[in-house]
Structures are given as structure tokens and as C-alpha cells.
Structure 1
Amino acid sequence: MIQSMTGYGKAVINLPNKKITIELKSLNSKNLDLNARIPSHYREKELEIRNKVSKALMRGKIDLGLFVELTGEATSTSINSAVVQEYIRQLNTVVPGDAMDHLQMAVRLPDALKTEREDIDPKEYASILEALENALGAITNYRQSEGADLEKDFRQRVANISEHLEAVKTMDPERMDSVRERLTKAVSDLKEQVDQNRFEQELIYYLEKYDINEEVVRLQSHLDYFIQTMDGKQSNGKKLGFISQEMGREINTIGSKSNYAPMQQIVVRMKDELEKIKEQCLNVL
């Protein structure tokens, strides 16, 4: 079973004075690239949150967002009255204006507002972890759904390559006869007496040089292994990518050895299907 690296998950929790939203977005990447946006109040828990996300999603370019919206009267920020009053006193001596003007200037100056750092409420953090698990579950379901679509596409393209490979196998005797005929005609055009035994030996040498049986067998084996890997319990996009590279080597060798236009046309169609498989392998977890 394969999974896509593309996904999206979201979870929302409503606390007495807060609304906390967790969003996860994922795109394809060779390795894990996790970008986390977490309010400073929860920074001490960032490493634990990152580890949970990394363990669950494993690979991909992942954006994690934890957003807090205050819904009640509670706030951790207040006016630092003593500082503001001192600013106003000093402004009265250097800047002309009324009390409102001085107040507007004072609240913009450093330390006019103070934020009281509160310890994280264990119950609140437990709710956040629960929401994180829900968001991870949502993005995993998304990835699995995308993976199912990828799997259908892979199976169809592998079946297409197998069908083209059967056409190559069917055409091969005709191709070899054509190669033999061209070599025989080339020798006869020389209008020179040749040793028939030597000619047969050279002919066998060239026919063996153009033989594609080994490549055909290996390509079929790679196609079967690709399907077998997809049917495994773990999604392994890198392994599928390696198998597709091996498939490409065999297809290229068949094309270079064929020396027969109709077969080379089939090889081009196999290459087209394989390129689409390689592109999609980059999206597999």
C-alpha cells in the first residue's frame, strides 16, 4: 500500500478562553523538511511536537501551524502603568501637546505593555496533543487517498509496458529474420566469394549481439517487482524509484539493440509510460 507525500490535515479545539487550530500541509521532498510555526508560549514543547509529526509523517516538505485565538476576556498582556506615567511626565517637559497626545506616544514606547508569562496548563497541552493526533490522522487519510489514485495509475502504466513488451516478444522473430536478411544481402552485394562457414560464424555473432532475450526477461522481472513492492505493507517511494531506473536501463538496451524501426517505435511508447511512472514516484512517501 502506497501513500502520497501530498496531504492536508486540520484540527480545532475550543477551550474556555481560547480557540486553538492546528494545520498540517505536506508536499513531496527527498527527505523530511519540517517548518513549524508555534506561538512563543508553547516553545518549550516544540521539540516534542516536532518529534511526533516527524515520526508520523516520515518524509516530505511539511508546514505545521499552531494558531491561538483568544475568545474570552483573559489576556496575558497588560499596560505597564508606572512606565507609561513616567513616559508622559517626561514628554510633558520636552514635547508640547495635551494629555491624549502624550498618552498615544507613550504607549508606543518600549516596555509600555508587559506580558506575563504563564506556565502551560497540563490539561490545555493534553488537548493540544489530542488535536495534533487528529490533524495527523486527517493528513494521513489524505495521503492514503492520494496514494490509492497513484496506485491505480501505476498499475495501468505497468500493464501498458507489459503489453508493449509482449508486442516486442512477438515481433522479435520477424526482427531477427530481417537482420539476417540484411546481413546476407550486404555480403551478396560485395560480389566476392566468401567462406560459407566463416560467414555463418560471423552471422551468429551479430545475431547474438542483437539478441534481447535477457533484457526482456529482466524487464518483466522488474515490472513484477514494482507491483510486488506496491503491494507491501510499507509505502516506499524511493525503492519504487530505484526499480523504475532499472526498468529504464532494460528498455534503453532493447531500443539500442533492436535495430528495427517497428520495434523501436514500441520502445518509444514504453519510455513514455516509464517517464510518467518516474514522475509520480517522486510523490510517493
Structure 2
Amino acid sequence: MVLSMTGFGRSVKTVQQMQITVEMRSVNHRFCEISVRMPKNFFSLEEKIKKAVQSYINRGRVELYITVSGEGLFSRTLNVDWSLAAQYIDALNEMKRRFHIDDSIRFMHLLHDEHIFEIQEVANENEELECMMLEAVHEAANQLLEMRAAEGSKLKEDLLKHLEALEQIIEHIQSRASIVASNYRDKLQKRLSEFITGNIDENRILLEVAIFADKSDITEELTRLESHLSQFRKTIEKDEPIGRKLDFIVQEMSREANTIGAKGNDSAISAFVVELKTVIEKLKEQVQNIE
């Protein structure tokens, strides 16, 4: 099955008076890389969350965002530094005496001082919340996988069209390759007749044609190219990560196309090779999206 490496998944869960939202998106990447952003009081769950996502994803970069909102997530305690508050009041009274200030000391003068009043926030342990968070991660990951499968199905259709185009081009090259040596023989004989009067050494012509045919023979390259197409078709039907293997096959296709272009010794074959490389490049671009 062909799976794309791009997708999106989302899940929202409610437990008690709190709401958990899990969102994840995946993009292309050579390996499996998972980035998790979540409230710091749940950092202990990070490895479990990554393992949960890895059970759905084999390749690609996944960015996962978890938010928790609502009441009951934290307990808050107000701490007052009474000693510091007393020093503040003493200092204010001394300032009044020294500078002859008539204003009275008010509570508001101290209220907003973060050094005197401190709110301490402690996360409440909640096993039900943690279990629900992992459940939301699984739901979002499953949704992500469904989207990757849907995108992969479209990719597969496109890949098959490109393979059909390659097969047609290969047929054209094969048909042309079968007459290249014969055309060369006719051209050679015509050129020789223009410069040589009398009988032309037929054996010499046959030898030159044989040498040319050997140098320009692309039978092996075409056979290997057809083999790569067959491997490609078989691979996209496998129920496993196939992106890297397909990428390797496409590289081999490109190598054979370059060799055919170098050995073809024919303008028509050269034109077909340009088409061949164009389609192979399209294959390569699409393969980069496959898990």
C-alpha cells in the first residue's frame, strides 16, 4: 500500500472539567522524527506519546501539539514574604519622615510587588487525564494515517500513469534502435560512393557497421530499464514502507536513461531519451512524498 508522508490528525477529549486537544501534522523526511509540544507537567508522558505515534508512522517528520484547558489542572497557593513586607513598610515610613511626605501608606503600595506576594502553582496528578491524553493521541494518529493513505492512493494512480508513459517511450526507442544500424549502413555506403569510383569493398562496410552497431547497442540498457519498471510495479503493491526502495529504483532508471542517451547515436532516440528523463524526473518528485 502506498502511503504519503503528509497528513493531519486531530482529536478532542473532555475529562471532568478539562479539555484535551491533540493536533499533529506530518511532512516529508528521510527518517521518522517526532516533535512533541505539550504542557511541561506532562513531560513524563513524552516517550509514551512518541511510541504511540511510531506505531502508526514509519517515516516522516511529525509535529504534535497537545493543549489542556479547564479547571482542576493546577492547585495554587499564595505565599507572602512577611519579613520583606515589614522591611518595605519600615522603608516607606522612613521615606515619609525624611522627605516630609504626608500621604499614608496604603495596601496597594505592596499588593503588586512580586517579591512579597508569590502564587505557587502545582500540577495535580490525574491518571484519568493522562489515559485520556494517550487515547486522544491514538485517535489523532489514526486520523493522520487515514489521510496519508488517501493521499497515497492518489500518488499511486499518478505513478502508474507515469509508468505507462515510460513503457510507451521504451517501445518507441526499441523500434528505432532496430533500424539504427541499417540506416548507418545506408549513410556510410552513400558517403563512400560520393568519394570512391568503382567497386566499394562490401566487407569493409559490413565491418564498420558491425563496429558501430556494437558501440550503439542499447539492448541491455533497455532490458534493465524494463526490469526496473517491473520492480517498481511490484513494490508499490507491498504492504510496507516502500519510499526508499522506490527512490533507489528511480535512480537506477535515471542511470540507464543516461547510458541510452550516450550510446544511442541517433537523433530520434535522443529525442525519446529527453522524454524518458522528463517522466523519470516526475516519478522521482512523487516518490519523495512516499513513506
TM-score where L is the length of structure 2: 0.88
Residue-pair matches, total: 279
Measured after TM superposition, the shift of residue 65 of structure 1 is 1.1
Distance 1:88 1:195 in 2: 117
8 A Cα contact 1:28 1:282, kept in partner: yes
CA contact (8 A) 1:150 1:280 kept: yes
Map 1:50-61 onto structure 2 (within 5 A). 50-61=50-61
Determine which of 97, 102, 112 is the counterpart of 1:104. 112
Match of 2:196 in 1: 191
Map 1:56-205 onto structure 2 (within 5 A): 56-70=56-70, 72=71, 74-83=72-81, 85-94=82-91, 98-106=106-114, 109=115, 112-119=118-125, 121-188=126-193, 191=196, 196-205=202-211
User: Do residues 47 (structure 1) and 44 (structure 2) align?
Assistant: no
Q: Distance in 2 between matches of 1:152 and 1:110?
A: 68
Aligned to 2:287: 281
Counterpart residue identity of residue 78, structure 2: N
- Tell me if structure 2 keeps the 8 A contact 1:77–1:113: no
| Partner of residue 265, structure 1 | 271
165-174 or 126-135, larger mean C-alpha shift = 165-174
Q: Which residue of 1 aligns with 2:252?
A: 246
Q: Match of 1:176, as an amino acid?
A: A
Query: Is the contact between residue 32 and residue 60 of structure 1 (CA under 8 Å) also seen in structure 2?
Result: yes
Choose 124-133 or 232-241, whichever is displaced more: 124-133
Q: Which residue of 2 aligns with 1:8?
A: 8
The amino acid that maps onto 2:127 is: P
Distance between the aligned counterparts of 2:116 and 2:234, measured in 1? 65
User: Does structure 1 retain, via aligned residues, the 8 Å contact 2:79–2:117?
Assistant: no
Distance in 2 of aligned mates of 1:205 and 1:39: 74
1:68-125 deviations in Å (ceiling 9; x for gaps): 111x3x3524242333x5554333344676322321123xx48711122433x22222
Cα contact 2:181–2:212 (8 A) shared by 1: no
The answer as to whether partners of 2:4 and 2:290 remain within 8 angstroms in 1 is: yes
Alpha-carbon offset, residue 126 of structure 1:
1.8
Contact conserved, 1:168 with 1:266, CA < 8 A, in 2?
yes
Residue segments in structure 1 that go unaligned for 5+ positions in a row: none
Deviation by residue 1:121-149 (Cα, 9 ceiling, x = unmatched): 22222212211111111000010001011
Matched letter for residue 165 of structure 1: I
State the 1:236 CA deviation.
0.8
Name which of structure 1's ranges 148-157 and 35-44 shifts more when overlaid on structure 2: 35-44
Higher Rg of the two aligned structures: 2
Structure 1 residues 254 and 125, CA, compared in 2 at 3 Å: closer, same or farther?
same
1:125 is paired with a residue whose SS is helix
Contact 1:244 1:274 survives alignment (8 Å): yes
8 Å contact kept, 2:264–2:270: yes
CA-based RMSD of the aligned residues comes to 2.2
1:127, 1:195 → 2: CA distance? 90
Question: Which structure 2 residue ranges, 5 or more long, are not aligned?
Answer: 96-104
- For 2:98, the equivalent position in structure 1 comes to none
TM-superposed CA distance for 1:23, in Å, is 1.0
- SS of the equivalent of 2:33 reads strand
